[in-house]
Structure 1
Amino acid sequence: MIGKSWGLTPKLTLWLYTAVIRPMISYGAVVWWRRTLLTTTQSKLQSWQRLVCMAITGGMRTTPTTAMEAMLNILPLHLFIQQEAATTAVRLKTHKLLCSTGTPHIKILEDIAKDIPFMEAPNDGIQIKYIFDKKYKIQLEEDSRVASIGRDLSIFTDGSKTKTGSGSGIFSEDLNINISLPIGTYSTVFQAECLGILEAARTIGRRNVKDSHIRILSDSMSVLQALDSNSTTSGIIYECHNTLMQVGENNDITLQWIKGHNNTRGNDKADELARRGSSMTAIGAEPIIPLPSCWLKGQIRQRMKHKHITLWSEIEDCRQAKLALPEIDAKLARILINLDRRQLRLITAALTGHGPYNKHLFNMGITDSPLCRACMGTEETATHVLLYCPGVAAYRAQHLGTLKTLPEIFKKPKKLLKFLEELGWQE
């Protein structure tokens, strides 16, 4: 399916690898991840990942794997396996399925806890719960008339997250509710929105409201869809469901989606209360509520990305690639992976120096001289052609303009491609 100049697109090739091949390689990683600490294992894993890097970029056989991984922002395979082992261990521990038997493979949690202090904190994840009996209704379509229906008691809820913290807001003119609830720094917007609905249900119970038609309005479609589902693995969603079931015993409860920031008085007031809650100091030690599983997984991924960045900055090889790409750039990787095969092949050759440049071809024994064919004054390397060669100065000025350093040039891949295509120096 894949050749150097033909076959599947780079984007599709990467997708097949990350969605099909890599999960097969990392299967059961929580058991055998410690083998990835050995250099022999790392070398073997890298040789496997090299196959996909070459298939994506179409690079020359001498192109270094580490440079292609950095260029495409692909986590080295041994780090990915450690990441999968860590997330699996967290999930098993959350579900009380991870036993401390003294075997070394579960020590990955201890290693992570050294870098992520809250890894040992309570987790919002629970074993899957199936929900079929619901004493409340979910309305996922907006109906502007419901707020004015006299027989309904309306409660508006909202959630907010800022740099200072997270908060929930609950407002109701019918029940005289004005609540700003601070929930700490580490909660997500989803949790803040859900806690708003949960606190509204609790308030209904505390005030002993009975025999009423109550409509809880929220602008969080994701929370309402989670409550509408017949299963959940979130503790806060399950608690919200149970509380709604209790108040639904004596009331007709409807949860309805409402468009946010639509100049509805109740919704705007709930938003104001939520933002006030996010600016307040929560009472108690962080985290105030159990951490979401997505936050923990995100922290693990960030830890492995940092390790990848450290490996790239400390490696002594790939001098040309490190000059062009001093830091791993996820945005640039997204742009490159959407190029076609021919374009990405040209970029790879220019970034790594392993391409149709006389110096490299001379080292491989393909040409009889390393001198630049445009100026014949010095060795022809990618850096020389992109920055200094007087023989292509006119092309460089036309296509690259004021870009004077390799990092600046590679952040503008479309301009670089026009310059390379103009030269016509293709392998």
Structure 2
Amino acid sequence: MRPLTNIAHSNTPRHITTQTTHVSNFCELLLWGGFAIYSDSQAALKAIIGSMQVCSRLVWDCVKALQELGSWNKLTLAWVPGHKGYKGNEEADRLAREGAERALIGPEPFCGIAKTHVRASIDEWMDGKSREWWRKLPQQRQAKMFIKERSARLTDDLLGQNRKAIRIIVGLLTGHCRLNKHMSLMELAEKLRSTFCANVKAWPG
């Protein structure tokens, strides 16, 4: 039997990942009797055949369909590089783009959502709320000069330091340290200066 290369994609909501769409298409192809399936999605192929533990209902349904089909006939899953002129794959990409541009009829999501997508959506929402809170926070002039928004890289670098270094860095970034500006605001600059002068006068010589 010749490989099935003309793949029809249904309308896809904006929050469904490419991997989820490919796995869903595998299930649809099996129902129509496909015996050789080519895909440019390594993530979808690895989710189906490259993991001993399945955490997605959609992937599990696809694995069961593959096992049932493979129990009585030869089945081939193959990866092909995307955008390299493979006729069937280029047609699938074209149909996927057309489907993504159309409005979905019915409630969302129409199929399962990957955990990685859920975590990414939550992180994106938290980043947006954090930026909004920081922008609306009154005062903190010096801190806002150096810290524009939440930074995972800066956080990791900071937490990699010892407690003394963290205290110094945070103090310099926020201005809450033993600098004249901060000491003057706290009305401690003159007191520190007097203490320093007294110590200098007490030195021998």
- The TM-score with structure 2 as length reference comes to 0.71
Which among 186, 193, 197 is matched to residue 368 of structure 1?
193
In structure 1, the partner of 2:41 is 220
**More strand by percentage:** 1
Contact 2:131/2:149 (CA < 8 Å) preserved in 1?
yes
Q: For 1:38-95, what per-residue CA distance to the aligned partner results, in whole angstroms no more than 9, with x for missing partners? A: xxxxxxxxxxxxxxxxxxxxxxxxxxxxxxxxxxxxxxxxxxxxxxxxxxxxxxxxxx
Which among 204, 213, 221 is matched to residue 33 of structure 2?
204
Q: For 1:310-356, what per-residue CA distance to the aligned partner results, in whole angstroms no more than 9, with x for missing partners? A: 5544555644313543x5243xx525744896998876444211346
In structure 2, the partner of 1:240 is 62
Identity of aligned residues (%): 28
In structure 1, the partner of 2:153 is 334
In structure 2, the partner of 1:180 is 9
* Residue identity opposite 2:44 in structure 1: V
Contact 2:20/2:112 (CA < 8 Å) preserved in 1?
no
* Residue identity opposite 2:27 in structure 1: L
Aligned length: 187
**Gap change, CA 1:261 and 1:306, over 3 Å in 2:** closer
In structure 2, the partner of 1:283 is 105
SS of alignment partner, residue 193 of structure 2: coil
**Gap change, CA 1:312 and 1:237, over 3 Å in 2:** same
Contact 2:23/2:58 (CA < 8 Å) preserved in 1?
yes
- Give 5+ residue unaligned stretches, structure 1: 1-151, 156-171, 206-213, 370-427
Alignment of 1:266-305 (within 5 A): 266-305=88-127
Displacement of 1:284 in angstroms is 1.9
Structure ID, larger Rg:
2
Q: CA RMSD in A?
A: 3.4
**Gap change, CA 1:338 and 1:153, over 3 Å in 2:** farther
- Give 5+ residue unaligned stretches, structure 2: 195-205
Which among 349, 352, 373 is matched to residue 174 of structure 2?
352
In structure 1, the partner of 2:201 is none
Contact 1:358/1:367 (CA < 8 Å) preserved in 2?
no
Contact 2:131/2:150 (CA < 8 Å) preserved in 1?
no
SS of alignment partner, residue 8 of structure 2: strand
**CA–CA separation in structure 2 for the residues paired with 1:153 and 1:356:** 77
SS of alignment partner, residue 54 of structure 2: strand
* Residue identity opposite 1:220 in structure 2: S
* Residue identity opposite 1:216 in structure 2: I
**Gap change, CA 1:283 and 1:204, over 3 Å in 2:** farther
In structure 1, the partner of 2:198 is none
Displacement of 1:304 in angstroms is 4.0
**Gap change, CA 1:336 and 1:286, over 3 Å in 2:** closer
Alignment of 1:47-196 (within 5 A): 153-155=2-4, 172=5, 177-196=6-25
SS of alignment partner, residue 12 of structure 2: strand
Displacement of 1:216 in angstroms is 0.8
**More helix by percentage:** 2
**CA–CA separation in structure 1 for the residues paired with 2:81 and 2:87:** 12
Contact 2:127/2:150 (CA < 8 Å) preserved in 1?
no
